[in-house]
Amino acid sequence: MKKHYRHENDCLNCGTVLEGKFCHHCGQENLQIKENFGHLMNHAVSDYFHFDHQFFHTLKPLLLEPGKLTSEYMAGRRVQYLHPIKMYIFISLIFFILFFKHSNSEDESDGKKHADREAIAKVKKDMENDKSMNPLQKKIMEGVVENAQNVSVDTTDDTTNKGGFHLTVDKNALAGGSNNVKITTTKSKDSTHSKHNWHSAKVNKVVVTGTASKDTDDKDDEDDDTSDGSFTSRMLKDSKDSTYAAYLNSQKSMPADARDNFFERMFEMKRFAYKKYGDRAKEVFLEDFKHNVPKMMFVLLPLFAVILRFAFWKNKKFYVEHLIFSFHLHCFLFLFLTIIMLLMMLPLSSTLKGWIDFAATMGVIIYIYKSLRAVYHRSRWRTISKMIGMSFAYTFVFSFCMLILVMITAVTAV
């Protein structure tokens, strides 16, 4: 669509005398003030596809030519590429949306497992209190509710002390309630009885096949207990004071040397704030923590630039050059990890996913090595030694930032 330019040669934005279609002082285009809807949409689409063109033109060197974007930027060739900060915001936004969605789906899966364990525990308790069920029935039902595909039970008849039966129970039958469970009885070869007496049978052995790994479930329970002990149980523990105001009143009644200090009072204030959420306290904390992670990563970028400044001190580069490299490197990491997450969402075998993890790790290491070589022009072994030292420094700074983030989230979440 043709653009309609003004005939006047003064810039409407800054008043500078124009020598073309754009103001050489502020950059505004000398378009007519009144424009129809078609022109308005044309400008919006043009701006969008200009960004789109820059983004896709930037992808190739970002992914396949380590260090090139930083070198091009510092050499002044910038118009054809997306600005580092704008690119970081765009890519990190996509990454964290996908990351949180993926982690939420895992949380839902873990929550379902936890709910299943609670349901199993309830059924077991009900069976223990059910006087109408004999030991053999309870053994079979216990195997069914433990997510078994079938249960084999070896029995010996008390009247003959020999024989035995093989009983198979389908776990899906439990959906209709314990009274609807169908049991298939098969007489052993050496048995002389064609019928099985529930009440006269002695349970020798119960073999459950197709059961989910109990070690894994137990470990999950231990992890839940550990996390609850470190956060939820401490935050929700019973107190003689029902409210924070009551706690403050009780503190005032104590001698000055027996009162809690500032940090203890702060902890009590937040504990009462979390307590109103009950069992959801941990969920509330984690949700706020997740939303603060992108902010922490943005703060981490200039800190990583400081590490680069000290690691490559002899290169005599300005701090902003290290910062630009930091933006470009983290853009690659977020984009690359986004691609890996999308691959992991595919229905692939665990072996193939393991190989993808290994290839991704090696790819990141090689990319960082090549980008450092391209930007800082050090020797191979010197670059490797710098990488090792930087990895330790980055891990320390990252851990410190995470600790600060946990403290800030605990204070500001509720």
> 395 and 284 in one domain?
yes
Which structural domain, as residue segments, surrounds residue 181?
148-211
My answer on whether 309 and 398 are in the same domain is yes
Q: Which distant-in-sequence residues (6+ apart) come within 8 Å of 336 by Cβ? A: 63, 360, 363, 364, 367
> What pLDDT is attached to residue 138?
65
Determine the pLDDT at residue 275: 76
**224 and 287 inside one domain:** no
* 58 part of a folded domain: no
Residues 165 and 249 in one domain: no
User: Does residue 302 belong to any structural domain of this protein?
Assistant: yes
Backbone angles phi, psi at 237, to 5 degrees: -60, 150
Cα 44–chain centre separation: 35
For the chain, 414 residues long, the average pLDDT of each consecutive 10-residue run is 77 88 86 69 61 81 94 90 91 90 62 58 65 63 54 46 46 44 45 39 44 43 45 54 79 84 80 75 82 90 95 92 96 95 89 93 96 95 95 95 88 74
Answer yes or no: do 299 and 383 share one domain: yes
Q: Domain check: are 384 and 300 in the same one?
A: yes
The C-alpha atoms of residue 351 and residue 355 are separated, in whole angstroms, by 6
For residues 414 and 411, give the distance between their C-alpha atoms in angstroms, rounded to a whole number: 7
Do 284 and 408 have their domain in common? yes
195 and 239 share one domain: no
In a domain, residue 131? The reply is no
Same domain? 406 vs 337 = yes
Q: Which of 156, 185, 211 lies at the terminal end of a domain, its last residue? A: 211
Q: What pLDDT, on a 0 to 100 scale, did the predictor assign at position 134?
A: 63
Which of 258, 276, 294 is a domain's end point? Answer: 276
CA angle in degrees (0–180, nearest 5) for 57-63-69: 60
**Which helix H or strand E contains 381, and what residues bound it?**
helix 380-412
In a domain, 266, yes or no: yes
Residues 224 and 199 in one domain: no
26 in any annotated domain:
no
Domain annotation covers residue 404: yes
- In 3D space, the residue among 380, 378, 397, 383 whose CA is nearest the CA of residue 305 turns out to be 397
- What is the Cα–Cα distance from 225 to 215, expressed in whole angstroms? 15
Query: Where does 253-379 have alpha helices with state H?
Result: 262-275, 281-311, 319-344, 350-376
Question: What is the C-alpha separation between 60 and 56, in angstroms, rounded?
Answer: 7
Encode 366-376: b = buried (16+ Cβ within 10 Å), e = exposed: ebbbebbbbbb
Within 43-125, strands assigned E span none
The residue out of 211, 242, 266 marking a domain boundary is 211
pLDDT reported for residue 184: 46
Task: Identify whether 136 is part of a domain.
Answer: no
Q: What's the number of domains the chain is made of? A: 3
Domain shared by 296 and 404, yes or no: yes
Answer yes or no: is 329 within a domain. yes
Check whether residue 204 and residue 239 sit in a common domain: no
